[in-house]
Amino acid sequence: MIKEITITELNATVKIDDLILNARFRLRPSKRIFSRIKADLYFDGHHVKSFYLGIPYYFARREEFPLRSILSLEEISAGAHTIKLEMLGLWHSAGHSDIRETTIEYQPFVKTPMVRAIPIIKKIEGPDIAVVTDEAKKLYREMKERWKKELVARRERW
């Protein structure tokens, strides 16, 4: 089976207490109206966040898509850390997921007595694509349910 999603690049940069994660991925051209993709981010083997990307078909002709995440490394222990990005298409013929890993060396400026296992996500962004958070998914679900109720009410009036 051919991979629908290919992660072409994964770079991590540490600036003070922020981890800037830049990824690029490519989609195989498709006739679907919308390509839905699930991306899972891991830090030292711990799941940090799952987020969903929606890419309209007319953008799939592009060569690559950028995806940028900014994570806060405050209260993270010093040393080498592994970051992993896994991307999977959410359609029945999607094929296998693609995984990329990178390693960073982190030395905090201030040592803290409290240590967390995973960093906090500050921002996830990507031009021309929609990153759907859990709150947005809930809102979309509520809108869809309201639309269905209105449709049934119109049918009953006829």
Amino acid 33 reads: I
Residue 139 lies in a domain: no
Q: What is the CATH number of the domain that holds 124?
A: 2.60.40.10
Q: Is residue 152 part of a domain?
A: no
Within-domain flag for 35: yes
**Within 10 A of 90 (CB to CB), how many other CB atoms are there?**
12
- Give the pLDDT of residue 10: 94
Of 10, 12, 19, nearest to 120 (Cα)?
19
For residue 155 the two structure tokens come to 């049918």
Residue 153 lies in a domain: no
Does a structural domain hold residue 106? yes
Q: Using a cut of 0.75, tell me whether the model's pTM lies above it.
A: no
The answer for residues whose C-beta is within 8 angstroms of residue 23's C-beta and 6 or more apart is 7, 9, 10, 11, 66, 67, 68, 69, 85, 100
How far does CA 76 lie from the centroid of its chain?
21
Residue at 57 is within a domain: yes
pLDDT in tens, the chain (158 residues): 455 788 999 999 999 889 999 999 888 766 666 678 888 999 999 999 888 887 776 666 667 888 899 999 988 888 999 999 999 887 766 667 889 999 999 988 877 777 888 898 888 876 555 566 677 778 888 888 998 888 888 888 76
- Where do we find the tokens 């992993």? 84
Q: How far is CA 50 from CA 7, 143, 152, in A?
A: 16, 22, 34
Q: pLDDT tens across 90-125, in order?
A: 776 666 788 999 999 998 887 777 788 889 888 887
Provide the residue range defining the domain that includes 76. 5-133
Burial 59-69 (b: 16+ CB within 10 A, else e): ebeeeebebeb
Number of domains in the chain: 1
In a domain? residue 154: no
Residue 147 counted as domain residue? no
CA distance 30 to 57: 7
